[in-house]
Amino acid sequence: MLGWREAIIGKIQYQQTKLILVHDYDYLLSDEYILRKLGSHGFDIIRFDDSMTFRYLYEQQYRLNSSSPQLVIYTNEDIVFPYEFQKQALEVEMDLQHIFPKFSAQVIRQINREDFDALYTVHKQYTGSSSDQETLEYIIKHLYKIPYDVMDSQVDLYKSLLSIHYNNIDLPLVVQNFLVHEWKHIPAYHKVPLEKIVESPTFFYHFMEQKWAEFVKEFIQVQQTQIKDTIEVYQSHPLLDGDVRRLMNDLFMEGFLSKVKVSSEFIPNWMRFGIEKDENEEDVEVKSHHLREKIDEYVQNATLYKDWQEISGLIGELKLTAILNDHHKVDIDNLMETVNKKFMKWMITQFHTLTSLPPYPKPKLVHHIPHVIDKERKNSEKVALLVLDGMNYSQWKMVQKYLRGYQFLFEEQQVFAWVPTLTSVSRQAILSGNIPLTFSQTIHTTASEEKLWKSFWENQGVLKQYVAYQKSLGKEKYDRKNIKALARKSTKVYGAVIDVIDQFTHHAVLGEKSITSDLKLWLETNYLVNLLDDLIDNGYTVYLTSDHGNTNATGIGRISEGVLVDQKGERVRVYNDTTLYEDAVSKLSGLKWSNVGLPDDYNVLLADYGQAFVPKNHSIVTHGGISIEEVIVPFVRVQKNKGSGLGE
């Protein structure tokens, strides 16, 4: 597995100096395997992105700690490290050109780092020049496996893009531009919005939904009139291609494509996956079986954070399908126990590596979110971040399906909440753009959120008077006059907390079914639809996320420790005193959590999966722990389809 990583690790692992400063302009250290390998050799790795945060962390954990491990501090920016570090450290520079010398460095710098393993393999076989053109032609054919120069039909285009987007392959901009340039001259693609469907999975899926809807409508018309044999009419239609149909069926079952609403007796069996109707037992069984099989396959091979993000999305669709259809509860509970057994082990051993990864090009942890928003913000563009407090992935799937009915489109990513998955920890991390260690004075409360939100944006150059924040939204009837982003014309940055889902969670008498029912009723008030509409109509680029999810748990008995414990949650207990904490760990049923990114006096004991520190056998829906339902949450850019069918 080392491959291209060997040269990177070799520059560091044999160094004897206590402090190593790394200039990594090509994001080569942004790799889980490298971080793990260096960690196994006794190195701590910290990314230097904010001097104040870094100094705080360094002073707290390293400066006076003689037993601390060797420290690697790396930066992705062209900065000069403080002199006090330079004089005692070895400085190292990483260079992508040394790893892929045959290719154009300008092109390779744009390739997703997660594709470097495959790139390293095809690089060995490359015999061309290092020109941009030859490098591009080669990697498109051999890395991305797109036969762009022999494609001439819509079937070819659909198959290629379905494969790319379904497999979450991020084509760099230079590759997108190359493909569009090559394809725009092909007659079959003249009426296709190539730029949008190559660039964006969201727009491509919406495009395919439209093509499917048109096909179904025409199919039914032909069947009803019986003028010609249906097979004769559609034998050359691109949606009848076997590979296209197979991939689209998977996308319908996994919730990526919206089904067509029709009422007709002329729908053949092979089309049923793309038709919305009251799902019968057979349809639900087929969908659930497909999702369970895929989750099983992914879990067996999961080693990286992205693997768990993929699994989280599938679990969200599976659990929502099960709740809405009251289907296979025991089977899914067993599956979730299997998934979480492995996920929680990964969290305990690997979560710390996420804290060393950069926010770009995609956020990994919730505190990366405002940094990504700021990086994507152009000039004086207005931005809004809506935090749906306590929303897990199955609840997001429900919100998403409802909003799709109002022509909203979504660029969706997934991020990890901070642990413990408590509002005061993870939501403050979002709004501060910082790790919990930096807000140790307020870690038990949410009272400082507005101050933290405004402080973050002031550090990015946005004056406080142009930043607005409000919380506890969603319970009242929607009135745009009560929304600060709309009431104050000077607002450029808006942060808001909608906490209805968290309220539903803590009052869920019938568990997840109660939350689903309450969420459905709330969505039908159109509070969220109206808020999104108004923000977008007023020029805001809108993002939506959650601070943590929620999960089912059964009580293992209340624990009576009085003042010995500093924070008592249903799935987490926090101790300021280390001795008391170690004593609790030895006596109580629970998981000891490392305090990575947390204050030194914030010692965390977590309930095991499916358990809570509440009266014995009492069933609740709650949060605070490290199940996949609590930890992985959506981060979504919300757009509105305005008329053309593709947001044009």
CATH classification (class only), 355-550+630-640: alpha beta
pLDDT reading at 54 higher than 90: no
pLDDT reading at 385 higher than 80: yes
**Could you report the per-residue pLDDT of 86-104, keeping only the tens digit for each?**
888 999 999 999 999 999 9
- Model confidence at 510, pLDDT cuts 50, 70, 90, reads confident
Q: Which residues contact 142 (CB under 8 A, 6 or more apart)?
A: 122, 125
Mean pLDDT score, 584-612: 92
Distance CA(328)–CA(285), nearest Å, equals 9
**Start-to-end C-alpha separation, the chain:** 43
Distance CA(513)–CA(519), nearest Å, equals 10
Q: Tell me what pLDDT residue 51 has.
A: 67
The answer to whether residues 27 and 76 touch, using CB atoms and an 8 Å cutoff, is yes
Q: Tell me what pLDDT residue 648 has.
A: 42
CB-CB neighbours of 101 under 10 Å: 10
Residue 573 to residues 502, 558, 567, 595, 615: CA-CA distances in angstroms? 19, 12, 6, 13, 15
Long-range contacts of 436-440 (CB under 8 A, 24+ apart): 436/597, 436/598, 436/599, 436/602, 437/56, 437/57, 437/60, 437/597, 437/598, 437/599, 438/53, 438/56, 440/599, 440/601, 440/602
Mean pLDDT score, 127-150: 96
pLDDT reading at 279 higher than 70: no
Give the CA-trace dihedral at 290, 291, 294, 296, to 10 degrees. -110
When mean pLDDT is compared across 45-59, 156-170, 385-399, 608-622, the lowest value belongs to 45-59
Mean pLDDT score, 267-281: 77
- Model confidence at 451, pLDDT cuts 50, 70, 90, reads very high
What is the rounded average pLDDT for all residues in the chain? 91
Q: Is the peptide bond before 361 cis (omega within 30 degrees of 0)?
A: yes
pLDDT reading at 233 higher than 60: no
**Could you report the per-residue pLDDT of 480-502, keeping only the tens digit for each?**
999 999 999 999 999 999 999 99
When mean pLDDT is compared across 379-388, 459-468, 554-563, the lowest value belongs to 554-563
Q: Tell me what pLDDT residue 519 has.
A: 97
Where is 469: in which H helix or E strand?
Answer: strand 467-473
Distance CA(389)–CA(497), nearest Å, equals 7
Give the length of the chain.
Answer: 648
Distance CA(209)–CA(188), nearest Å, equals 19
Question: Cα–chain-centroid distance for residue 544?
Answer: 11
Helix (H, G, I), strand (E, B) or coil at 541: strand
Q: Tell me what pLDDT residue 228 has.
A: 53
The token pair that represents 191 in the structure block:
């009426």
DSSP state of 405: T
DSSP state of 543: E
Distance CA(572)–CA(561), nearest Å, equals 14
What residues does 605 pair with on adjacent strands?
A: 573, 592
Distance CA(382)–CA(369), nearest Å, equals 16
Annotated domain spans of the chain: 5-94, 282-353, 355-550+630-640, 554-619
Q: Tell me what pLDDT residue 294 has.
A: 96
Pairing between strand 408-416 and 632-640? antiparallel
Q: What DSSP line would sit under 568-635, residue for residue?
A: E-SSEEEESSHHHHHHHHHHSSSEEE--TTS-TT-EEEEPPTTEESSSTT-EEEE-SS--HHHHEEEE
Burial of 222-244, coded b for 16+ CB within 10 Å and e otherwise, reads bbeeeeeeeeeebeeebbebeeb
* Torsions phi, psi for 492 (to 5 deg): -115, -25
Q: What proportion of the chain, given as a percentage, has pLDDT over 90?
A: 75
CA angle 280, 283, 284 (to 5 degrees): 85
CB-CB neighbours of 510 under 10 Å: 11
pLDDT reading at 121 higher than 60: yes
**Could you report the per-residue pLDDT of 567-584, keeping only the tens digit for each?**
778 999 999 999 999 988
Residue 471 to residues 130, 231, 234, 484, 508: CA-CA distances in angstroms? 54, 57, 54, 11, 22
Distance CA(524)–CA(402), nearest Å, equals 9
Helix (H, G, I), strand (E, B) or coil at 63: coil
Distance CA(76)–CA(24), nearest Å, equals 5
pLDDT reading at 505 higher than 60: yes
pLDDT reading at 85 higher than 90: no
Nearest CA to 582 among 597, 560, 604, 598?
604
Mean pLDDT score, 530-545: 97
